[in-house]
Amino acid sequence: MKARLAILSVVVLIGVSFFYSCGANLFSIDQDVQLGKDMDNQIKADPAGYPPLTGHEDVKSYVSGVGKSIVNSTNLIQYKNVFPYQFTVINDTIINAFCTPGGYIYVYTGLLKFIDNEATLAGVLAHEIAHAENRHTTKRITSYYGVSLALNVVLGNNPNTLADIMSNLFVGLGFLANSRSDEKEADDYSIKYLAAGGKYYPGAIKYFFYKIKDEQQRLGQNPGAIDRLLSTHPLAQDRIDNVFSKLREYNVTSDSTKGLYIQEYQFEKAKLP
């Protein structure tokens, strides 16, 4: 009997280890949504750390409209009818955007002022949508805490672990920061989503990368406004090269001077406080 139990334990451990090493995610889709909602409530409860853009309903509606148009323009968005896909503008000079589980996406006014056209905004939002669709955050939670603790979070048996996850959101995202493989995957899907949608130039996220590189070279160091961006979204030349590689791989032949919507974006950008 003891021998059988020992063998069973080894089999379970091997199975768990294999499951864990293959990008395991113990959270259900509904739990992604609930966790994202809990995080959203925490963000709204901390206006000092995450000051919402007040007023400027036209700007907020514009940003949300761009995001929702991406979600609704292609069947590649698997959870479009499950995740709420909310787009919130945070009034801060930080040049960044981030996503929590379930499609809760946040964009800083610092980023909106930094970029120059609607297609680039679409590329960034599509990148964040890809993080939600690929469920990167709950996969990282499973990986970070291991199967045992993650199961407790999933089952609601460990509020301390859930509180720890929440606290990481408020210290530069902590272990919730995306890995390089996550970032590459999100970049790839950004191109796929925009190519499938047909409205925007699919490689528009490259203009965001170009501007960051130009700013770094101009100052000779990482400017303070993009410190958090670079800590959670590592930028390397290979990410820029990857955009061109994926455009070729996906056979995207769009004219890079079209589908940018520069004038429309500049009109809305000028309204920012």
Q: Which tens digits make up the pLDDT trace of 184-219?
A: 999 999 999 999 999 999 999 999 999 888 877 776
pTM of this structure: 0.82
Domain count, the chain: 1
Whether pLDDT at 172 is above 60: no
Whether pLDDT at 7 is above 50: no
Measured in residues, the chain has a length of 273
**What backbone phi and psi angles, to 5 degrees, belong to 156?**
75, 20
Mean pLDDT value of segment 131-138: 93
Domain that holds residue 108: 26-269
Catalytic residue among 57, 118, 128, 268: 128
Mean pLDDT of the chain: 82
Whether pLDDT at 153 is above 50: yes
Q: Is 6 inside a domain boundary?
A: no
Q: Is 8 inside a domain boundary?
A: no
For the question of residue 264 being annotated catalytic, the response is no
Checking DSSP bridges between strand 104-108 and strand 97-100, what pairing results, if any? antiparallel
> How far apart, in Å, are the Cα atoms of 215 and each of 14, 98, 219, 260?
48, 21, 6, 21
DSSP 8-state code for residue 178: P
Q: How sure is the predictor about 2, in pLDDT bands with cuts at 50, 70 and 90?
A: very low
Q: Is 69 inside a domain boundary?
A: yes
pLDDT tens-digit profile of 223-269? Answer: 455 555 555 455 667 788 999 999 999 998 888 889 999 999 999 99
Mean pLDDT value of segment 111-140: 96
Q: Is 146 inside a domain boundary?
A: yes
pLDDT of residue 247: 94
Q: How far is residue 235's CA from residue 222's CA, in Å, rounded to a whole number?
A: 11
Q: Is 19 inside a domain boundary?
A: no
Whether pLDDT at 149 is above 90: no
pLDDT of residue 158: 53
Q: Is 38 inside a domain boundary?
A: yes
Whether pLDDT at 155 is above 70: no
Q: Is 145 inside a domain boundary?
A: yes
Q: Is 262 inside a domain boundary?
A: yes
Mean pLDDT value of segment 98-114: 96
